[in-house]
Structure 1
């Protein structure tokens, strides 16, 4: 935290500074919702912003900059690991994501998945990420057709919906119809075998019991 020193002259209005303070306040309110109730940063961060808004401090902007760096570092501690595409071998499957928290403290985020073609079970949920660990999240998905469908993965703050991880798009490849086609092919093969066996038995029966025509 910068050392507090007081200004010697009258304060002047700086529009850039006002915009920076406004942005810092919005970030603070959103990212604070990621912290646990007992996390000391819930008290430290507002204190930094309070000094940064003071007109009696020699360099108040330094406190705003310091605060925003801390907020940015908290967001960057969260990362998502997922392949760019995944395959669902049936019309009912699961989409698995791994969310990493490299922060020394537990963090809470909001995870939201959206897809125009897939029906997702509980696609929006609040997740607690334990410090220095990876959390695996599984979201069940169903569809009535096969094909490739985009899924949007969004990780944000629990309150304020501030972006924590840049938007991710993955492609789900559903091969359910291919499996159905295999089932139909097997069924047709069984029908063909049954017909062949029946025809073979009939031909054999005719050979063993030939029909004779008597002469008049």
Structure 2
């Protein structure tokens, strides 16, 4: 029998746009599985794409509705519902959520015992935080995504990071030369760290989790 250690979910949201005032304190402990796939009896966890960094949670109990993304073993890309002029129910399986990795993990298979333990290796140095805004969509971080953050990771060029200042938090990509925080949307400017010393790098984002059905 194993024990899963919940990690803090911050009440503040991290801005994937521009900073907004927010209090940085833990709202409640959370186990990722409870948020990501509460109906796990009908779900599968499948790898998607060639880079080994994206996973889908597909839910066979869901009937597709307009706007859903569908996964099919016969299609190389996700399908959008409706998939044609006369949609068929068996076109594919509804994608309930996606997981995008920024630090590699071993493939957990279709029925992992704990997504929480797979993603969070240092629970006492980790926290979870929701995102607001759309400046990181090129990195599969969307409005309402949940980020897994590790404060004990070494910092590498290209990491997705949390940066904090007096006004709140930002999620950006860290680039070393020159030191800057880069957005994942061309509509948002970069932050040059030399001219913005108020920003402190607080942790490395391990993964972003996005629910497409059953969101709060």
Output the TM-score relative to the length of structure 2: 0.23
Larger Cα Rg: Structure 1 or Structure 2?
1
Higher helix share: 1
Higher relative contact order (Cα pairs below 8 Å, separated by 6+ residues)? 2
Output the TM-score relative to the length of structure 1: 0.23
Higher strand share: 2
